Structure 1
Amino acid sequence: MSIIEDNASATVRTLTIDQKSDWVDLVNRAVETDFYHSWHYHALAKTGTPLLFVHQERDDFIALPLLKREISKTSYFDLHSVYGYSGPISNFTFANIPSKLRARFKNSFLNFLEAENIVSVFSKMHPFFEQEIVLEQFDGLHDNGKTVAIDLRNPIEIQRKKYRQTTLDSVKKCRKMGFQIKDCSAQEQIAAFTLLYQQNMHRINASEFYLFTEEYFTKLLNTDEYLAKLILVYDGDKIICGSIIMCNNGIIQGHLIATNSQYLRYSPAKFLVDEVSLLGRTIGMSYYHLGGGLGFKENSLFEWKLGFSDLTLDYKSWRYIANPIAYNDLVLQTGNSIDDKVDFFPLYRMSNQ
């Protein structure tokens, strides 16, 4: 790492998805990062135009990946993060980023927001990283509750002692019934998981955003930027549960999961989580991040995840209003109230129907 001087000259640039090698190089040089920051994951995004804002001083940098969206019938834009946990990255650990580098990043980013006519920025932060050290110099840090993780550095016996009794009973029952997991990559297995996943999404009336296609899953799994696996649970030759997991920087992300509705009473997803925790140890992972509740509330999904571990992490988002006058006008035009306390950002994109 180089030493940043007071008169350090900065290079400020915005990478697009066409600049793959530069994007990949920066992510590879970052100390605290996850697959959510990767070029490949952003290349699959459909809800905006991917960009990577970079403030660099010699070999040191702070960068922030985002998706840029037009605001309909205006000359304005806003920025939001990909599905998952992203936030800024740096060649320093967040705790060791020099204050002068953070301050100059802030100035560069504010200049970028003004030049690009950006009204607001929304970024979901990564629970494992202290990204708030970079973003607390702005307004807009928001507590979103907690997520749950399993510490894979513990022996499996210690891990299972933390299971809720109902969770442990379900795992044992699935094992007794002869369910098996397989690490899968064949196209017909990806197709089968896609069907299972889409059936789950229809069952819970999920929005169209979550109806990922076979093509999407195929691309998601095929990259050398991170280790992605499709793990399926079989009852004989029948697929009854599955999950796409991402392994990067010592962390397994339980990215997506689905269960055959006919097998819900057996809770094969609990069996899958237990088995993935074993797999994670064999490939050198330290944590298995299960995520939070639906809408990041401490609801039944969150309680389900707490059945595996008492390790919880604070989860935050960054909700920054770059142009307050334009933001307020846009909210009023939608018929929403600027004083609305609903947990939604930006308010002008919330339907009031």
Structure 2
Amino acid sequence: MTKVLYIQDKLEWNAYVSKAAEYDFCQTWHYHALDTTGTALLFIYENNEGFIGLPLIKRPIPDTVYYDLTSVYGYTGPISNFAMPLVPHSLITEFKSAFIKFLDDGNFISVFSRLNPFYEQTNIFRQFGGLHDNGLSVAIDLSIDDETRRKNYPKNTLQKIRQARNRGYLVKDEKNPQAAEIFTIIYHENMNLVGASKSYMFDESHIHKLLHTDEYDARILLVYDGDKPIAATFITFTNGIIQGYLIATLNEYRRYSPSKLITDSVCVLGKQLGMKYYNLGGGRGFKQDSLFNWKAEFSDLFLPYYTWRYIANPAVYNTLLYEQGIDENADIDFFPLYRSAQMCEHLYVK
């Protein structure tokens, strides 16, 4: 049985997510309801064994009768009532047939989905092809006691954390109405500094909505110098995994590294709440750059991060490239390639 759920189908969407053996906050109805880039949907294939679901965003391809599918910002990918390594081969095969029919019937040209590095979601897509190795994501194992974990930090990182404490910086876990406003101010200043595109300039209303839901636990942690908030992070707690969604520091305080203090504090909080891992993400574009190296100071646990890049209609895909004068073999890490003219909107990746 195949069904496609949309935002108006909140109860049924939530029911499938709650039945999933593995899921993160990015797959919830609430998170998809906040996306404004297209039409959010949850494709479901279900048989007597169980189900596979895939949350996606439907977008029209300008000046055509065609569409494509992408995923929300963050780590998404498929869900199932089975843990990913245990999904029956027969269920995957039937899911593939049903999903390809859905693509054909809906005039979809391509599908792009970010996968979750903690779940073996590549198991679902091997039959399709199109898996792409994006690099590595840095995760912190919270089963390690705090003292041992800190012994693995570089000497400079430990010094920065101690210095921040000696300056009297305090980390507070806040969910009051002012938290979203404070976070947004600090975050925007940081994004302007690194030259982030408009698509990453989340406004206060968006942060406030992300924060207030019962579908996952979201929190803002703020670092204070006296009464002044100087750094902030937006984190989520779902099924044992903390996602470091956003983090920022006021420019005038960057040299004091309060972000290192807040990262260590998240580890302590996560351990108290029974979390298993804290995912810091990768470098910009998931390259092993200075951002990646900063995150790697906290852990040497690196998880492979994949995306699924599937061309459903190669003929139309290549025609779109031809019409835009794009070489199908161009050395550009962007998918779908016919949208590469919009690449400037996607240059900053956490």
**Aligning the two structures, in what range does the TM-score lie when normalised by the shorter sequence?**
over 0.9
Query: Which residue, 107, 118, 123 being the options, matches 1:117?
Result: 107
- Count residues in correspondence: 343
SS in 1 for 2:55: strand
Which of 76, 88, 93 is equivalent to 1:98?
A: 88
Q: 3-state SS of the aligned residue for 1:342?
A: coil
Q: Note the 1:255-334 alignment, pairs <5 A.
A: 255-334=245-324
Structure 2 SS opposite 1:219 = helix
Q: Which moves more between the two structures, 307-316 or 182-191? A: 182-191
Look up the SS of the partner of 2:37 in the other structure.
coil
Amino acid at match of 2:40: P
Cα distance between partner residues in 1 of 2:152 and 2:37: 39
Alignment of 1:177 onto 2:177: no
Q: What corresponds to 1:168 in structure 2?
A: 158
Contact 2:56 2:69 in 1 (8 A): yes
Partners in 2 of 1:262 and 1:30 — Cα distance? 44
1:81 Cα offset (Å): 0.5
CA distance in 2, matches of 1:201, 1:282: 31
Return 5+ residue gaps in structure 1 as ranges. Answer: 1-10
Indicate whether 1:22 and 2:12 are aligned: yes
Q: How does 1:79-228 map to 2 (within 5 A)?
A: 79-228=69-218
1:2-34 deviations in whole A, cap 9, x for unaligned? xxxxxxxxx100000100000001001001110
Counterpart Cα distance in 2 of 1:296 and 1:51: 27
Q: What is the CA–CA distance in structure 1 between the aligned matches of 2:157 and 2:79, rounded to whole Å?
A: 36
How far residue 189 of structure 1 moved from its aligned partner, in angstroms, is 2.4
Distance (whole Å) between structure 1 residues aligned to residue 319 and residue 14 of structure 2: 38
The answer to whether the 8 Å contact 2:49/2:91 transfers is no
Cα offsets for 1:66-115 (capped at 9, x unmatched): 00000000000000000011000100011111110000000000000000
Q: Tell me the equivalent position of 2:347.
A: none
The one of 337, 341, 346 equivalent to 1:351 is: 341
Match of 1:6 in 2: none
Deviation by residue 1:219-271 (Cα, 9 ceiling, x = unmatched)? 00000000000100000000000001000000000001110000000111000
Note the alpha carbon deviations across 1:29-59, whole angstroms, 9 max, x for none: 0011100100000000111110000001146
- 3-state DSSP of counterpart to 2:202: coil
Instruction: Give the partner amino acid of 2:45.
Output: H
Distance (Å, rounded) in 1 between the aligned partners of 2:54 and 2:180: 32
Whole-angstrom CA distance in 1 between matches of 2:79 and 2:175: 31
Alignment partner, residue 67 of structure 1: 57
Indicate yes or no: 2:40 matched with 1:53.
Answer: no
Shift of 1:205: 1.4
Q: 1:140 to 1:149 in 2, by over 3 A?
A: same
Mapped pair 1:231 → 2:221: yes
How large is the RMSD of aligned CA atoms in angstroms? 1.0
1:190-209 residue CA offsets vs partner (Å, 9 max, x unmatched): 21111111111111111110
TM-score (norm 1): 0.96
1:5 alignment partner in structure 2? none
For residues 189 and 139 of structure 1, what CA distance do their matches in structure 2 show? 43
Write out aligned runs for 1:6-21 (5 A): 11-21=1-11
CA contact (8 A) 2:221 2:233 kept: yes
Deviations 1:259-305 (A, max 9, x none): 00000001110000000100001111010000000011110000000
Q: What do residues 312-352 of structure 1 show as CA deviations (whole Å, max 9, x unaligned)?
A: 00000000000000000111222211111211101000118
The change in CA–CA distance for 1:54 and 1:134 in structure 2 (over 3 A counts) is same
Q: Which segment drifts farther, 182-191 or 301-310? A: 182-191
Distance 1:189 1:200 in 2: 17
The 4+ residue runs of structure 1 with deviation greater than 2 A are none
| AA of the residue aligned to 2:42 | L
2:27 corresponding residue in structure 1: 37
Cα distance in structure 1, aligned partners of 2:127 and 2:48:
23
C-alpha distance in 1 between matches for 2:180 and 2:263? 19
SS at match of 1:95: helix
